[in-house]
Structures are given as structure tokens and as C-alpha cells.
Amino acid sequence: MKKTFQILGAAMLALAVVGCENEPIEEGNTPVTPDEPVVEEPAEPSELVLRANLPTTRTILDSDFKLSWTQNDQLAVFNAPTGTEEYSDNLNFVIDENAEGKFSPAEGVEVPFEDGVNYDWYVVYPYSTNNDEPTLKTPLGQSKDDGYFAIGATTQYGYNNTDHIAGMDIMVGKAKDTREPNVTLKHLAVLHKFTVTNNSDQPTVIQKLTVTGNTNIFGAFWIDLTADEPKIDLTKANNTADSFKTRGLTIKGALDEDGNELAAEELAVGASADFYMITAPFTLATGETFKVTITTSTGEQTLEKTATADIEFKAGTYNTANLVYDYVYVEEAKPIFLETFGTSATYDKNNIIVYNDDVSGITVSTPSSGAAYQTSGYPTGGTITGACGRFSGAKVGSMFKYTGISVDGNNELEVSFDLVFTSETETKVNFAYKNTGGSWTKLLTTIPADQANIIQHITHNITVDGSKTIEIYLSNSTAAPYIYVDNIKIDVPATE
């Protein structure tokens, strides 16, 4: 007798299945009229229960670093008649209300189960979906069309919290030739705990940990659940780009009972907190480096470990590392003047960085030749990247003039800028400066013809009256289709 049972509200970590047999009516249950045949009611469909036994560690780490099931845990299950490849669809099993490791088919899930036939069972944690459809399509793991296991960036809500690791803690198990499956699961990924101690000079909020390995330890992986020893096969992964060597753990405020995010927590000086990440298995070979970058509200620091001998991070291992964050924040001094140009096609004072944040007295004049002032990335050879001033019109003359620049009482200054000419003709560039109300001083730079379309780093030392504001301008002597200028900077010369 062949049946497909629709099972409601059972549990799977020990798939215990009772056979489909009629049970005799107990004496006294049903009055019987003499000489009439006894009609037996068919038995109710048997309750299918699968029991999944955890490895030593899993979803929630208790004080002894053992893992336990939680009330929302779910499994993906495939079955097939013993010795066949007649695999079922992905069957969703949910944990019982006591979270004791017994799982039953989710409501509405139909489990293939034929009387008198034993089955092979393939069990996966976690159960995952994409657009409400199960991610895994078959247990074979032959291609991405079968479905995949993702290990990548994630978010930890609150210090010392482990809830987030469950979704990437890949565990598999199988039971062969049985109608009562009892499955022991096995970890396929690697769990890392990073303990960060704040030895900096002030309390700080840990915002992110970025892990960088020597190989592609993150990505989408396909796993053959039917193999003798299922494993994450790094050769079967959608992670060929070098970017899959690194991923980040974002740390946010803890969640309250209603799932609302609380304010981020400061880590006091001398205090420590734990952070957890999952990676694929890998080996750090001799001489290779493993990096963890700690990003905080007060700075960023990268810590490195170079292997003096091969270090194998095996599947199912739980690895710990102590990280000391001792970054001392020093506010970077602002230059007297720096034009960054931004992205607007018109002049914007917000693009200027100055030491006192006051740009109200600064003005700019566009070229006297009538060429337009606009911003643009330099298009040829990548010599200037990002925004820069582009002066067009094939005209000779002033490219820009800035007035009202305060020099903060400094008399000796260093002026620098990056410049590209597109004319393959020897070109003279005039940089002129003066105190407001004074006379112009001109400094000439000659750019050879063979330097066309090559970035020029031009630097001048100038002497001014530090009690007054200054003016600067730049002009060219040779017509060019375009002239690109970037990083116009005035600052105090560096000292040895």
C-alpha cells in the first residue's frame, strides 16, 4: 500500500516512523450486533518525527560553549527509497515547541512514505528560502541550479551575541535504509570568536570587524549531501573574485524583546567584548597573513597574523583570537586651503576644505577667456581620478582665481596642485599669488610637449604677509582642448 502522508505538527531530529497498519478495535469500544461483521476504522496517518542530534556546538553558545536548538529552528530534508536517486523535493521540518531536537514536517508539507519501503534521509541545517521558495533544489550539489549555501557578510546585534551565526552554521547529516531516521549532524563551516579588548585612550563603539583571509573563504557553495563525507568544496563555489577573501561583520545595538534595535553600546577602556563570524574551511599556509580590521567610532585599526607554520582551520572547529584595540585617535590637521572640486558643474564653496571651516570670505572667478568652469574626471589614462576642474575652450588665459584666503598668520607657505594638459605642445603654466591689495608674484612652470596627457605634480614655496588674506590664480600660455586641475592645496611646509 503506497501512501503520501500529509503530516501536521510533528518533529524531525529523530525520524521515528510508525508503520501504516490497522489497529484492532479494543473490546468494549464499539457495540457489535450479533452476526454482523465487525467494521474496523483505518488508523490515522502515523506521526513522522525526525530527531537531529547536534554536534558539540551550534546555534546558541551557552557558558560552556555548547550549542543548543532554539524554538525557531528549521531543517531541510530530502528522502529517497533506499539505494535509489528518486529524491523528494526539499521538505521543510520544524522543531517541536520544547526545542528538544525533535522535528516534524511543517504544516502542509507532504512527505513521500510508502508502506514497507525503507528510505535514505538527507538532512540540512539551516532551512533557507529565496522568494519563498526553498534555496536547495536537490541534495546533489552539482551546480548552482541545485541551490547553494551562502557564507558572507552579516550583522551581530549587541556585543557577545551569537544569534546571527545560525544562518551560516551549515550542518548536514544522513540516515540510510531506515523508516525511523535518527540523524547526527556535522558542521561543515568554521566558527571564529574574536575577543576585542579596548586598550585605546577612550571609550569607543565597535562598529565593524572585517576579516581578510588568503583564499576565498566566503561566497556561495554547493555541497553534495549524498557523498560519503559531505563537505564544502572550495572548487565548487561562486566566489572566484578576490573580493571573496574578505567580508565584514557589522555590529549594531542589541535588540529588545520586541525586536527593536537599541542604542549602540560603548566599550569602556580596559573592557572586552566577543564577536562571532563563520567562514568556509581553509588553511593559512606558512608565510601567509590573516587580517582583522576593527572599525570603531574613534578610529580604525588592522591587526595581522602571519603563519610561521601551516594552520588548518578545519570544518567544525571553534577558533578563538584575542584582539587588542589600542588605536589612539589624533585629529588630522586641516590644510589652510584645499579645493576638492566635488561633482557639481558650477563652483561650490562646500568643496573647499580650510583649517577653520570658514569659507565665507573666499570667492572664485571663472576664466577670463570665457571658457567654462566645470568638474569632470580626467578621461585618459586614469592620471586624475574622481572630480577635478576642467577648463575648456582651447583658449589661452586665466583658468581660475581665488580671493580672500586666510593664511592663519603663516608667512612661509607651500602651494601644490595637479595639472594635465591635453595639447601636445610645450606649455607654460603661470601660478600667481599676492596679498590682497598687494602686487602679483608669478611663478612659471614649463611642461614639455612629450608630457601631454601626463599628470604634473607642481609645488611652489611662497612668502606672504601672514596678517592678510591672499589671492591666487592659474593661467596657461598654450591653447589646449581641455586643461584639468585637481588638489589645489596651500599649507605650511612640512618640517623634518
Q: How many CB atoms lie within 10 A of CB 92?
A: 19
Identity of the residue numbered 256: D
Q: Are the C-beta atoms of 174 and 78 separated by less than 8 Å?
A: no
Task: Give the burial string for 295-316 (b: 16+ CB within 10 Å, else e).
Answer: bbebeebebeeeeeeeeebebe
Taking only the tens place, the pLDDT of each residue in 271-291 is 999 999 999 999 999 999 999
Q: What is the pLDDT of residue 278?
A: 94
Taking only the tens place, the pLDDT of each residue in 162-200 is: 889 888 889 999 999 998 889 999 999 999 999 999 999
Q: Which residues of the chain have pLDDT under 50?
A: 1-46, 57-64, 370, 382
What is residue 417's predicted lDDT score, i.e. its pLDDT? 92
The answer, as to whether pTM is greater than 0.75, is no
Q: What is the pLDDT of residue 331?
A: 75
**Model confidence pLDDT, tens digit, residues 67-77:** 678 888 899 99
Strands 470-476 and 397-405: antiparallel
The three grid cell numbers given for residue 484, joined into one nine-digit string: 584639468
Contact 292, 210 (CB under 8 A): yes
Q: Give the separation between CA 315 and CA 172, rounded to whole angstroms.
A: 12
Q: Write the pLDDT tens digit of every residue in 77-93.
A: 999 999 999 999 999 99
Contact 241, 147 (CB under 8 A): no
Tell me which residue has cell 578576490.
242
CA dihedral (276, 281, 282, 284) in degrees, to 10, reads: 40
CA-angle at 474, arms to 473 and 477, nearest 5°? 140
* Grid cell locating 141: 550539489
Torsions phi, psi for 163 (to 5 deg): -55, -35
Q: Domains in the chain, start-ordered, CATH in brackets? A: 50-325 (2.60.40.2630), 337-491 (2.60.120.200)
**Residue-level pLDDT at 365:** 79
Residue-level pLDDT at 151: 92
Residues 249, 254, 260, 264, CA torsion sign: negative
SS (H, E, C) the chain: CEEEEECCCCECCECECCCCCCCCCCCCCCCCCCCCCCCCCCCCCCCCEEEEECCCCCCEECCCCCEECCCCCEEEEEEEECCCCCCCCCEEEEECCCCCCEEEECCCCEEEEECCCCEEEEEEECCCEECCEECCCCCCCCCHHHCCEEECCEEEECCCCCHHHHHHCCEEEEEEEECCCEEECEECCEEEEEEEEECCCCCECEEEEEEECCCCCCEEECCCCCCCCCCCCCCCEECCCHHHHEEEEEEECCECCCCCECCCCCECCCCEEEEEEEECCEEECCCCEEEEEEEECCCEEEEEEECCCCEEECCCCEEEEEEEECCCCCCCCCCCEEECCCCCCCCCHHHEECCCCCCCCCEEECCCCCCCEEECCCCCCCCCCCCCEEEECCCCEEEEEEEEECCCCCCEEEEEEEEEECCCCCEEEEEEEEECCCCCEEEEEEECHHHCCCCEEEEEEEECCCCCCEEEEEEECCCCCEEEEEEEEEECCCCC
Q: For residue 450, what pLDDT is reported?
A: 87
Rounded-to-integer distance, Cα 300 and Cα 420, Å: 34
